[in-house]
């Protein structure tokens, strides 16, 4: 008989339960990881997390109310770098594959660019619709660089959280002078080819062929094979068309993940949901692939209605996934200890078959959380956490 770990997780950055590794590269696998809060905090949602591809100890974080944060020690400490930002709602962060000092931020108010890791930001507005006083005419929901041509970037319209303001538009930026903002202009490359109300959720350029671009949207997956000049639907086999996160496997660029998996040479998708809880599979928030192993994925599930919100990991392309999460942060504040025990018991009974489950909060635990509810959750886990 094995026992589930009695761990209540408060944030999303993995740290050793023993002495911390000297760098992110020396961090252990998930079987020996624990979680605790290291920031940044201050309210709101963490919308974007990415690392410097040349130095994984440099971590970039974007929030919906806090703007841009940077860490130089693998997430142990963060500092805010918002000078020049007019909009602190960061949807996505893109790092230049040529020079990691150069970053692009996707925000509701447009795109910001830095050449010094966020010490100063510049609004790259040319090419988008005119600024409006009471609305966001070009809310950016997706952004990426072309890894083969780092002076080229793509951006998609449509704020992810609000599920509105889709325009069916993807823009392209090309700069011969990558270190200077002067003359940078975004130009639409999908006008009239995507449905007019489509929200572009995610964009990726194929690592070994910059002609191939994939766009995950609210109407399914779209593909271009000529650097964005023409687009066509590529959703055959998908059970629904509401695309979210998209990623090419760096070690095998013909493999693409969109919560599902396919070979990029054909247009047929197959499910790899495995043993993900249904509500987690239907509420994706993030996707991270191992650069050396296309079968190794980290998947984040969330949303206000996702009971099984948390972080999942698979090392066999989704044939088996672990679960982290399950405690209602609202319940920690509002419920009685008896209600908390009953809810945790239902969660544990549903998620413990087969193991691989870590009970934790579905969001950052607030200062208003009741201590007796916290202790009640641990007690319920101890009572119901055994599995055969």
Instruction: Give 119-157 pLDDT, tens digit per residue.
Output: 999 998 888 888 887 778 888 989 999 988 988 999 998
Token pair of 92 as six digits: 């996505």
DSSP 260: E
> Could you tell me if residue 72 is inside a domain?
yes
Better-scored residue on pLDDT, 330 or 144: 144
Q: What is the mean pLDDT of residues 236-261?
A: 74
Judge whether 202 lies within some domain. yes
Interval 282-295: pLDDT, tens: 666 666 666 666 66
Higher pLDDT, 376 or 288: 376
State the residue for tokens 């119901």: 384
- In this prediction, residues 194-210 reach a mean pLDDT of 89
Number of structural domains (the chain) is: 1
* pLDDT surpasses 90 at 83: yes
85 alpha carbon, distance to own chain's centre: 21
Residue predicted with more confidence, 302 or 297? 297
Q: What's the rounded Cα separation, in Å, for the pair 29 and 48? A: 22
In this prediction, residue 96 carries a pLDDT of 93
Tell me the average pLDDT across 167-192: 74
Give the span between the Cα atoms of 141 and 64, in whole angstroms: 12
Residue 177 has pLDDT above 50, yes or no: no
Distant-in-sequence, close-in-space partners of 126: CB < 8 Å, separation ≥ 6: 184, 185, 186
Q: Domain for residue 84, yes or no?
A: yes
- Range of lowest pLDDT (240-244, 306-310, 338-342): 306-310
CA 109 to chain centre: 20
Cα Rg, the chain, nearest whole Å? 21
Contact 237, 270 (CB under 8 A): yes
Average pLDDT over all residues of the chain: 75
Q: Give the helix/strand (H/E) hosting 329.
A: helix 329-334
- What integer pLDDT is reported at residue 7 of this predicted model? 28
CATH of the domain at 173: 2.130.10.10
Can you tell me the mean pLDDT for 240-264? 70
Judge whether residue 183 has pLDDT over 70. no
Higher pLDDT, 130 or 323: 130
Identify the helix (H) or strand (E) that includes residue 168.
none
Query: What would the pLDDT profile of 266-280 be if each residue is shown by its tens digit?
Result: 344 555 566 666 666
Encode pLDDT of 10-40 as tens digits: 222 232 233 444 444 555 555 555 555 555 6
Note the pTM of the prediction, 2 decimals.
0.64
- Binned at pLDDT 50, 70 and 90, residue 337 comes out as very high
List the domain range (segments joined by +) for residue 198.
44-234
Highest mean pLDDT among 96-110, 161-175, 231-245, 248-262: 96-110
């Amino acid at each position: 008989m094995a026992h589930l770990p009695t761990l209540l997780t408060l944030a999303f950055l993995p740290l050793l339960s023993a002495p911390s590794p000297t760098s992110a590269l020396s961090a252990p696998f998930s079987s020996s990881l624990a979680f605790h809060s290291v920031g940044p905090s201050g309210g709101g949602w963490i919308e974007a997390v990415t690392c410097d591809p040349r130095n994984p100890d440099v971590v970039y974080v974007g929030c919906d109310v806090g703007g841009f944060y940077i860490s130089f020690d693998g997430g142990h400490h963060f500092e805010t770098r918002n000078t020049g930002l007019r909009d602190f709602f960061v949807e996505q962060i893109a790092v230049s594959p040529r020079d990691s000092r150069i970053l692009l931020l996707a925000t509701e108010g447009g795109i910001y660019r830095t050449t010094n890791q966020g010490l100063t930001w510049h609004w790259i507005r040319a090419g988008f619709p005119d600024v409006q006083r009471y609305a966001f005419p070009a809310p950016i929901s997706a952004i990426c660089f072309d890894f083969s041509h780092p002076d080229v970037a793509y951006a998609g319209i449509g704020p992810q959280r609000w599920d509105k303001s889709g325009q069916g538009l993807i823009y392209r930026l090309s700069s011969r002078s990558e270190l200077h903002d002067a003359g940078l202009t975004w130009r639409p490359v999908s006008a009239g080819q995507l449905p007019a109300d489509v929200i572009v959720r995610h964009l990726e350029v194929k690592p070994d062929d910059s002609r191939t671009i994939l766009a995950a949207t609210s109407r399914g997956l779209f593909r271009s094979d000529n650097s964005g000049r023409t687009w066509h639907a590529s959703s055959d086999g998908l059970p629904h068309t509401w695309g979210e996160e998209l990623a090419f496997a760096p070690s095998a660029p013909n493999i693409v993940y969109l919560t599902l998996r396919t070979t990029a040479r054909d247009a047929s998708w197959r499910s790899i949901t495995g043993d993900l809880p249904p509500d987690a599979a239907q509420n994706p928030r993030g996707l991270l692939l191992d650069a050396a192993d296309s079968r190794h994925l980290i998947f984040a599930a969330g949303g206000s209605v996702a009971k099984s919100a948390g972080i999942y990991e698979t090392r066999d392309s989704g044939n088996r996934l672990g679960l982290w999460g399950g405690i209602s942060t609202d319940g920690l504040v509002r419920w009685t200890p008896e209600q908390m025990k009953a809810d945790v018991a239902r969660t544990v009974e549903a998620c413990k078959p087969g193991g691989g489950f870590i009970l934790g909060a579905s969001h950052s635990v607030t200062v208003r959380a009741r201590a007796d509810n916290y202790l009640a959750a641990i007690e319920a886990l101890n009572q119901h956490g055994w599995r055969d």
